[in-house]
Structure 1
Amino acid sequence: MNGKVFQPSGNYYDKYNTRNPIARSMMQGFLRSFVELAVIAEPVGTAIEIGCGEGELSMRLAGRGWKVQGCDISEDAVDEARRRAAAAGLPIPFRTLDIFSAKEACGRSDLVVCCEVMEHLEEPAIALDILAGLSCRYLLVSVPREPLWRALNMARGCYWKEFGNTPGHIQHWSKRAFLSLLQQRVQIVAVRSPLPWTLALCRVQ
């Protein structure tokens, strides 16, 4: 993994199916924004999700007609993604792979998705180059919006010793700072800001 990926530990939970009403409301906002940006990227074609986790976003794309493949650094997450896709009757191939190996392992796709990954990476600019290189048309990315993310963590009594920083988050972007990073490599098409994230759909130049 080239020493460039920090794999978080101890902070995984099923955020898409949480029973916490506040967290559930925020995740619904995230998912609405994700689908809105995916619609802008249509007509449907091929897609790859880097850092697919349990496969929720890949399955939503597949449900809209995208031909999707997904990968994640966590073998356990990939196993869960395979289980959920099979249960939903969606033929999505998932495999264990990190972002810095994807360039050699994956072909180019019309849409590349990378959500909640870049905050874990020591070299996000290099990762952005790889993501852009994997895309024929669009890149859809998201990161937590700081310092709001940490403030909300502390408000719910989490990670006080870390000043609200989620374990594994080593990059911290405001909305403006993240968009500035993206503009160095891609053209921003549309942005959504559901609490507390920044999502951007970009066109590869």
Structure 2
Amino acid sequence: MKVDVGNVVGNAEAKYDHPNPIARRLVAGFKRAVGDLYLRTCPESVLEVGCGEGLLADSLIRLRRPARFEACDVDLSRLAPDLHPDLTFQTASIYQLPHADRSVDLVLACEVLEHLEDPAAGLRELARVARRAVLISTPWEPVWRLLNLARGRYVRTLGNTPGHIQHFSRRALLRLAETRLRVVEVRRPLPWTVILGEPR
């Protein structure tokens, strides 16, 4: 996944299908938290922004299939094979989503805001498009970096994952969310923060 201005915003490591059993367990907790909040909203239309390989969208649509499930990213070259056939993908930037105001029941952006030069502008666009709910998540800092260091990853950058240019504590992400959303629920699967909110 790449940001529109050419910055690398992801890494080559498998995020949702990691070979390490501890990492798989952590990711399972993340997916469970996101899935629970997704099901809570009962959306008939969904837009995932910053979909990367499309694996999160694939797991969500298999939990509950809405009438329309779209996913977008600025670079769709890394889409996984054999994704659910009812998913539709398009190239789009979080800063300029090709959707009308209040046109999608649920808009989600998981593991996206930490890659943005201007996360407030990205969140503003998510809230503009959302009719009922916005679901966001970011790594929980500094725990994320400490866990990277504990497993010997990204030591030269003190555990910072390539492409992470914002670092959100739980309080910082909540403060950002509250600028555009009425926060409904916060989940804390280690080492992430997941927030469901209603657009203001």
For the criterion TM > 0.5, the same-fold answer is yes
Measure how far apart 1:62 and its partner are. Answer: 2.0
2:130 maps to 1:131 = no
Secondary structure in structure 2 of the residue aligned to 1:95 = strand
Secondary structure in structure 1 of the residue aligned to 2:9 = coil
Greater than 6 Å deviation, 4+ residue runs: none
Partners of 1:143 and 1:25 lie apart in 2 by 17
Measure how far apart 1:36 and its partner are. Answer: 1.0
Gaps of 5+ in 2: none
Measure how far apart 1:48 and its partner are. Answer: 0.3
In structure 2, the residue matched to 1:27 is 27
In structure 2, the residue matched to 1:12 is 12
Secondary structure in structure 1 of the residue aligned to 2:22 = helix
Measure how far apart 1:2 and its partner are. Answer: 6.6
Partners of 2:190 and 2:4 lie apart in 1 by 33
Partners of 1:97 and 1:26 lie apart in 2 by 29
Gaps of 5+ in 1: none
- The one-letter amino acid paired with 1:155 is A
Question: 1:35-78 CA deviation, whole Å, 9 max, x = no partner?
Answer: 11112212x3100000011112212332202220001122312x
Instruction: Kindly indicate whether the alpha-carbon contact (under 8 Å) linking 1:61 and 1:68 is maintained by their aligned counterparts in 2.
Output: no
In structure 1, the residue matched to 2:146 is 151
TM-score normalized with structure 1 length: 0.89
Question: 1:139-187 CA deviation, whole Å, 9 max, x = no partner?
Answer: 0000000000000000000111111111110100110111011111110
- The one-letter amino acid paired with 2:53 is E
From 158, 162, 175, the counterpart of 1:163: 158
Written as runs of structure 1 = structure 2, the 5 A alignment for 1:1-205 is 3=5, 6-8=7-9, 11-42=11-42, 44-63=43-62, 64-66=64-66, 67-77=68-78, 80-81=79-80, 83-85=81-83, 88=84, 90-102=85-97, 105-107=98-100, 108-205=103-200
TM-score normalized with structure 2 length: 0.91
Secondary structure in structure 2 of the residue aligned to 1:17 = coil
Secondary structure in structure 1 of the residue aligned to 2:32 = helix
| Alignment RMSD | 1.6
- Relative to its length, the structure with more helix (as a share) is 1
Instruction: Kindly indicate whether the alpha-carbon contact (under 8 Å) linking 2:8 and 2:162 is maintained by their aligned counterparts in 1.
Output: no
Measure how far apart 1:84 and its partner are. Answer: 2.6
Partners of 1:29 and 1:173 lie apart in 2 by 19
Secondary structure in structure 2 of the residue aligned to 1:76 = coil
Q: How many residues align?
A: 194
Measure how far apart 1:192 and its partner are. Answer: 0.6
